[in-house]
């Protein structure tokens, strides 16, 4: 009997009865009927990096959302509420947080079975903590109120199988910015990102904020504006030390274009990303507030013209671009572009795409065309405990897809080993991020 891997006893490996233990030796071929179990084991025992979230390090205090009432009032669930309940958005948004949660819970979880992706996610979180998944919220509320944030975060990350998350940090957010300037303590499990939407997309509403902070900028972008925006980005890069910069862009995003957005992008953002050797994350395809009454839940999706991305990749070969697109119709094109440009890293199944039916299609296309040179998923979590269900769903969807991929490789004559599987999963969910952000060369 081949020796087991030194680090695990048979019991720790939780090897199913009748399992051919020899394939647990790294370089042995795994029998076809054991591939799925081996893939599941490696997925479950690898800690992932969550490369895009709206979570916050503990020192950013009230910016961070967690607990059952935040989970239930997630904007995905608010959108679903209005399909089941006659309450108007104006009436709903006048309620307290607890009243909103009670209404959503009654409507989507009691009066109707929680079968949608977002409702099922809340059920999975409650179940993970052994809390009732139906009936009153009393016990769940008492449980979350009893938790201490620092220990709760560690437990949540353990349950989610993640080692660290990447944040979204907005230097023009009136609540967040002062916390950074007062010296908010960093946390090795939370990596900062400099978010650029208010500059690139909402300059008309924000140029005066920069001016009030002593930056000699103009609404029309003239004068010293470009130099001063570079100074602003340099200041916040030194303060936050972002692992990348990020911006969400509309489906109509165009490049080249004679616009302030493109001037800021090409004269300020991309040069500083090159200087600091960090990528820019462009998330393209949002139709903002198609229904303004729904607030954060009001955004929609539009197919983008990816020739804009193509020209960016061509014109800025020294820059690296994380890219996630919101339209399902853009996904095959994006994967094709990744075959043409090594400075493009497709990532995630974003927002309206983060459903098993679409994740499966996108992931299979990417594996078939890119091998493991992409990042399959991010959580986009806005509430801490969402990482538990979002990463459970990712593992559940990935397992059959990866197993099938290795099955085909074996059938075509190259047996798969445990070492192959471990290496590939590490590359997909950790190494590609580390390498692309130059955290490891």
What residue ranges bind Zn ion (CB under 5 A)? 380
420 contributes a contact to ligand FIX by CB under 6 A:
no
245 contributes a contact to ligand FIX by CB under 6 A:
no
Question: Contacts with ligand FIX in 341-360 (CB under 6 A)?
Answer: 351
Closer Cβ to ligand FIX, 168 or 372, answer by number: 168
Closer Cβ to ligand FIX, 234 or 300, answer by number: 300
The pair of three-digit structure tokens given for residue 272, joined into one six-digit string: 């500083």
Min CB(52)–Zn ion separation in Å: 6
Choosing among ligand FIX, Zn ion, none, which partner's interface includes residue 296 (Cβ < 5 to 8 Å by kind)?
A: ligand FIX
Question: 147, 146, 126: which is closest to 136 by C-alpha?
Answer: 126
The pair of three-digit structure tokens given for residue 306, joined into one six-digit string: 């990816």
296 contributes a contact to ligand FIX by CB under 6 A:
yes
248 contributes a contact to ligand FIX by CB under 6 A:
yes
Min CB(194)–ligand FIX separation in Å: 13
Cβ-contact 57, 190 below 8 angstroms: yes
Min CB(413)–ligand FIX separation in Å: 41
Choosing among Zn ion, ligand FIX, none, which partner's interface includes residue 351 (Cβ < 5 to 8 Å by kind)?
A: ligand FIX
- 333-393-243 Cα angle (round to 5): 65
Radius of gyration of the chain (CA): 23
d(CA 323, CA 128): 32
34 contributes a contact to ligand FIX by CB under 6 A:
no
283 contributes a contact to ligand FIX by CB under 6 A:
yes
Question: 78, 48, 57, 63: which is closest to 376 by C-alpha?
Answer: 48
380 contributes a contact to ligand FIX by CB under 6 A:
yes
Candidate residues 230, 261, 320, 382; the one interacting with ligand FIX per rule CB under 6 A: 382
Q: Which residues contact 26 (CB under 8 A, 6 or more apart)?
A: 5, 417, 418, 419, 422
Choosing among ligand FIX, Zn ion, none, which partner's interface includes residue 191 (Cβ < 5 to 8 Å by kind)?
A: none
Question: 287, 344, 285: which is closest to 311 by C-alpha?
Answer: 344
50 contributes a contact to ligand FIX by CB under 6 A:
no
Cβ-contact 69, 97 below 8 angstroms: yes
CA-to-CA separations, 385 to 79, 144, 319, 353, in angstroms, rounded: 20, 11, 34, 20
d(CA 312, CA 315): 5
Residues that bind ligand FIX (CB under 6 A): 54, 168, 248, 283, 296, 351, 380, 382
């Amino acid at each position: 009997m081949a020796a087991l891997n030194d680090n695990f006893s048979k019991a720790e490996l939780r090897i199913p009865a009748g399992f051919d233990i020899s394939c647990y030796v790294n370089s042995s071929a795994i029998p076809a009927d054991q591939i799925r179990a081996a893939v599941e084991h490696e997925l479950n025992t690898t800690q992932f990096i969550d490369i895009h979230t709206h979570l916050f390090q503990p020192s950013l205090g009230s910016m961070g959302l967690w607990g059952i009432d935040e989970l239930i009032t997630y904007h995905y669930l608010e959108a679903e509420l209005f399909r089941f309940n006659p309450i108007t958005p104006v009436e709903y948004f006048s309620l307290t947080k607890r009243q909103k949660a009670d209404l959503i819970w009654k409507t989507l979880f009691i009066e109707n079975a929680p079968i949608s992706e977002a409702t099922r996610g809340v059920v999975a979180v409650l179940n993970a903590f052994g809390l009732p998944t139906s009936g009153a919220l009393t016990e769940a509320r008492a449980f979350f109120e009893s938790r201490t944030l620092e220990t709760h975060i560690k437990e949540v990350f353990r349950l989610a199988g993640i080692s660290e998350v990447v944040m979204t940090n907005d230097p023009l957010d009136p609540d967040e910015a002062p916390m950074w300037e007062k010296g908010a303590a960093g946390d090795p499990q939370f990596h900062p990102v400099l978010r650029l939407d208010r500059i690139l997309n909402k300059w008309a509403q924000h140029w005066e904020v920069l001016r009030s902070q002593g930056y000699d900028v103009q609404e029309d972008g003239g004068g010293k504006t470009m130099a001063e925006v570079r100074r602003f980005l340099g200041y916040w890069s030194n303060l936050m030390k972002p692992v990348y910069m990020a911006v969400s862009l509309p489906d109509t995003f165009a490049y080249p274009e004679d616009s302030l957005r493109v001037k800021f992008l090409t004269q300020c953002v991309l040069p500083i990303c090159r200087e600091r050797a960090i990528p820019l994350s462009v998330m393209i395809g949002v139709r903002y507030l198609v229904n303004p009454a729904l607030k954060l839940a009001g955004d929609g999706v539009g197919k983008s013209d990816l020739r804009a991305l193509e020209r960016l990749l061509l014109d800025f070969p020294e820059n690296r671009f994380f890219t996630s697109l919101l339209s399902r119709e853009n996904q095959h094109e994006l994967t094709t572009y990744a075959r043409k440009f090594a400075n493009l890293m497709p990532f995630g199944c974003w927002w309206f795409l983060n459903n098993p039916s679409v994740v499966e299609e996108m992931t299979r296309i990417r594996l078939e065309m890119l091998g493991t040179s992409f990042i399959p998923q991010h959580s986009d979590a806005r509430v801490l405990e969402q990482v538990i269900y979002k990463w459970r769903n990712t593992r559940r969807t990935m397992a059959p897809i990866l197993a099938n991929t290795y099955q085909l490789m074996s059938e075509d004559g190259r047996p798969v080993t445990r070492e192959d599987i471990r290496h590939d999963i590490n590359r997909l969910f950790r190494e590609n991020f580390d390498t692309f952000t130059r955290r490891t060369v």
